[in-house]
Chain A
């Protein structure tokens, strides 16, 4: 496959579709607490770091947030705000790290940083919007789950970009 320069919007659509597919899979998995999620849908976002310009990347993130909200029916509820805040925080950190420290950090570190940013944004939001001081109580388990799942996703993403022929073709 030869690298193409023009139709990169295709990748945005493909990766967004992939994110939505993974969110749907994730909704099938029972969760002990509503906010404890695997974050499977973030996998395309991590992989896309090396493929898209920052404008395309923001578009992808927006599609992911809107699409997830449509699938889960939360688009007009407060959960949408949480999703938006978490995704915004994580993509900003991930874009920053990827572009500034490209040589010194792999997708594993970027994934961890993104998950932490997302979790912190959501915790702050729940602190000021919903639960008040009690939000602090969920912080430790929430962050631990985020750390573990983000390491798994990061390792997977790193393996993917190292081995995938599709990735090499479109890069």
Chain B
């Protein structure tokens, strides 16, 4: 007598279907890169491909970020050292700019393009 019965095959096929279905998660999660800005007021999310400006209030004044041409930088900040402004433009997922005195944290999130160096360290 073979131990495998009809139910086993149905359950197996359902499990395989579930696994195949679960691969679709990969396509939904790899969206466009987005800019996430964390400040004292909370977190804001911007589309990296839409040019815009935004100002955030912090302990020492205001910090303004600018998104232009798929890049983001800090254009103005009331902090003393202006390290955030010197950091310049960033454009790839995983990059970030931080303004410690004013408590503003800008980072880019999203999927990396295939073949870029950080793929392997994921």
Q: What residues of chain A lie closer than 8 Å to B10, measured between beta carbons? A: 109
A112 within 8 A of B: yes
**Are B7 and A105 in contact, with the CB atoms below 8 A?**
yes
Distance, CA A116 to CA B15, complexed state (A): 7
**Are A105 and B25 in contact, with the CB atoms below 8 A?**
no
Which of the candidate stretches B16-24, B40-48, B50-58 sits at the interface with the other chain?
A: B16-24
**Are B29 and A136 in contact, with the CB atoms below 8 A?**
yes
Contact partner of A147 among B9, B19, B25, CB < 8 A? B19
**Are B19 and A143 in contact, with the CB atoms below 8 A?**
yes
| Residue count of chain A within 8 Å CB distance of chain B | 28
Q: Which of the listed residues B10, B15, B28 has the most CB atoms from chain A within 10 Å of its own CB?
A: B15
Write out, one digit per residue, whether chain A residues 148-171 have a CB within 8 A of any chain B CB (1) or not (0).
000100010011001000000000
Distance, CA A113 to CA B12, complexed state (A): 8
Contact partner of A137 among B5, B8, B29, CB < 8 A? B29
Closest CB in chain A relative to B7 CB, distance in Å: 3
Q: What residues of chain A lie closer than 8 Å to B9, measured between beta carbons? A: 109
Distance, CA A127 to CA B40, complexed state (A): 26
A97 within 8 A of B: yes
Write out, one digit per residue, whether chain A residues 88-107 have a CB within 8 A of any chain B CB (1) or not (0).
00000000010001011111
Distance, CA A158 to CA B22, complexed state (A): 29
Distance, CA A137 to CA B14, complexed state (A): 20
Closest CB in chain B relative to A137 CB, distance in Å: 7
Residues of B within 8 A of A (CB): 3-12, 14-16, 18-19, 22-23, 25-26, 28-29
Residues of A within 8 A of B (CB): 97, 101, 103-110, 112-113, 116, 120, 133-134, 136-137, 139-140, 143-144, 147, 151, 155, 158-159, 162
14 pairs, CB–CB < 8 Å, chain A vs chain B: A104-B5, A104-B6, A105-B7, A106-B5, A108-B4, A109-B7, A109-B11, A112-B15, A116-B14, A133-B29, A136-B22, A140-B19, A144-B19, A147-B16
